[in-house]
A = this chain, B = another copy of it.
Amino acid sequence: MKEKPVLNTVLSPKLLDLYNIKDSIFVVIDVFRATSTMATALYNGAKKIIPVDNVSKCIEIGAKTGGITAGERDGKVIEGLQYGNSPAEYPRSFIEGKVLVLTTTNGTKLLHMALDKGASEVITGSFPNITAVCDYLIAQKRNVILGCSGWKDKFNLEDTLFAGAVIERVKEHFTIHCDASLMASEMYQKHEGDIKEYIKETTHWHRLSAFGLEKDLEYCVTNDVAPVLPFYKNSELIAK
């Protein structure tokens, strides 16, 4: 019998160097809110998303591509950009056919790191596209890294819960010897039934709800409301 592929969970971008990610499918996770917004915009017909790691690049590429420039700091649209980082800002009526140039605090950095460090394929994961992610991972039969973006490199619960949710769905298809995966899986099992309440305990909720973003955060832990699979290639995210 062929051995199962291996799955590991990385709890912070700072820990990425400890793992061999070559030839793996790398799932970038930034539940609040980058990867949830990315899935939503692509599901609603965005032509592509160009994730960039700073504001001046966002403006420059926005001008070059005619794309929408977007990014938030502290819950407000960044000066010089047009839109924010809320999935609610990107309904089909607005985003269809357009290019979105997006700068975010945590998720964008990990997208770049994953490719730089040799992942063979980089996709984004979030509750809004969880089934698309899991179906793909099971079908590919290749090693997987679940990469949590965290908050400024610190461990966070919402990305961990998503990693755990994925593991719960795919674990029979993978070899998993990884304490981070075991922990993520148990935390998800514990909170599967009360996730919309439980996220109110997280530090990220406290930070973002202070900006009135509660509805956003609840959306970001809702399964399969943006069933699409975003691939990151040539500095662009496109839906497959």
Q: A78: which B residues are within 8 A, CB to CB?
A: none
Task: Kindly provide the distance from the CB of A64 to the nearest chain B CB, expressed in whole angstroms.
Answer: 35
Interface contact B179-A155, CB-CB below 8 Å = yes
Q: A14: which B residues are within 8 A, CB to CB?
A: 12, 14-15, 18
By secondary structure, the A interface counts as helix
Interface contact B187-A201, CB-CB below 8 Å = no
- Given the interface contacts A154-B180, A179-B156, does A15 sit within 8 Å of B12 by beta carbon? yes
Interface residues of A in 132-168 (CB under 8 A from B): 152-157, 160
Number of A interface residues in the complex (CB < 8 A): 26
Give the docked Cα–Cα distance between A12 and B206 (Å).
Answer: 24
Interface residues of A in 181-240 (CB under 8 A from B): 182-183, 186-187, 190, 201-204, 206
Q: Which A residues lie at the B interface, using CB under 8 A?
A: 11-12, 14-15, 18, 152-157, 160, 177-180, 182-183, 186-187, 190, 201-204, 206
